[in-house]
Amino acid sequence: MKIKKYIPISIKQKVVQYTSDGNKYIDKYKRDDKKIIIALAANYGNLGDVAITYAQKSFLEKNFPDCKIIEIPIDKTYENIKSLKKIINEDDVITIIGGGNFGDIYLDIEKCRQFFIKQFPKNKIVCFPQTIDFSKNIRGEKELRKAIKIYGHHRNLVLFARERKSYEIMKNNFKKNKIFLVPDIVLSLNKQLPKEKRKYITLCFRNDKENKIDQNEKNKLIADLKEKYKKQVIEKDTHVGNIKIEQEDREKYLNDIWDTFRKSKVVLTDRLHGMIFSVITGTPCIAFQNSNGKIQQTYEAWLKDIPEIQMISQEFSCEDIERKIHDKLQKYNSINYNEKTTEYKKLLEEIKRG
């Protein structure tokens, strides 16, 4: 029997925190440097989260050129806290990674966020745009109450939602914190390339706890498309498995999937960043629902005016999807995407306010 898996997360945190030497940043940075921290930086196989980390860093470097931008990889959260505390000052801003991990669905990440918030009570902390998703059960309600207490106790914590549903949930529950609505930070990027030859129908479907499409319908659709379009159909997921992606390898992985999308005539996806990657690469997209509604909500808030992006209702037929694909192939139009800038005004203001 492995005893380790029965040890509470809070105990594991403390063991790592107090047994690590904590010397990682002492020689590289000084206390009087002007710094912005990126906490919970993604270095795992979810390219949506990796793209968020990349976009968040790019956004900060572009808008705060005089600051040193320091990434804390999520798997180093506890062991690096000692060294970070030695160099950080009260004027430094801490940003926490955006995404879809605010809640009990990905509880280990939620605990990392809460840990950072408790460790730096005097610093301005800005949580980049998130989807909130606490389960409607005893555990979810318990974890939501914990989060409300911890977040509410921090006097200078600002939460950003990336769609209207999350914004309303945050406003109704986190009443001691400032709440704002802005797009997913990946929409601040533009990864279109001119004169790219498009030849694929790319399928980017999930097979995890956020899946909502009936698996039999999904399998039938995939089989029908492969039979009809043969080698034109390829599969490319935004999750590349249980691997570690170091900071120096990040762009290689992202450029690989963006290049696939840029070579696609249309993308079919039930991943949020499958839809967002389509937008930033100028690729038409047919998007399907997921379990917590973040795709539909993001589409409604920021992308519904892009005609090349089509949102599919929960009920659909394979025949209907095939007709939509045929129409897109016959009347192909790439998206002329201009990255969002003015929508991030509040985000910039809150970071500058420090």
- Three-state helix/strand/coil letters over 261-279: HHCEEEEEECCHHHHHHHH
3-state secondary structure of 321: helix
pLDDT at 17: 46
Instruction: Dump pLDDT digits (tens) for 272-289.
Output: 999 999 999 999 999 998
CA distances from 264 to 8, 103, 201 (A): 45, 34, 6
Tokens 């800005």, residue?
126
pLDDT at 9: 46
- CATH tag, 200-330: 3.40.50
Among 75, 143, 80, which residue's Cα sits nearest to residue 109? 75
Domain 9-188+342-353, CATH class in plain words: alpha beta
> With a cut of 70, which residues of the chain have pLDDT below it?
1-23, 314
pTM of the entire predicted model = 0.92
pLDDT at 13: 47
Q: Which DSSP symbol is given to 239? A: B
Per domain, the residue ranges of the chain are 9-188+342-353, 200-330
pLDDT at 291: 80
> Do the domains 200-330 and 9-188+342-353 match in fold?
yes
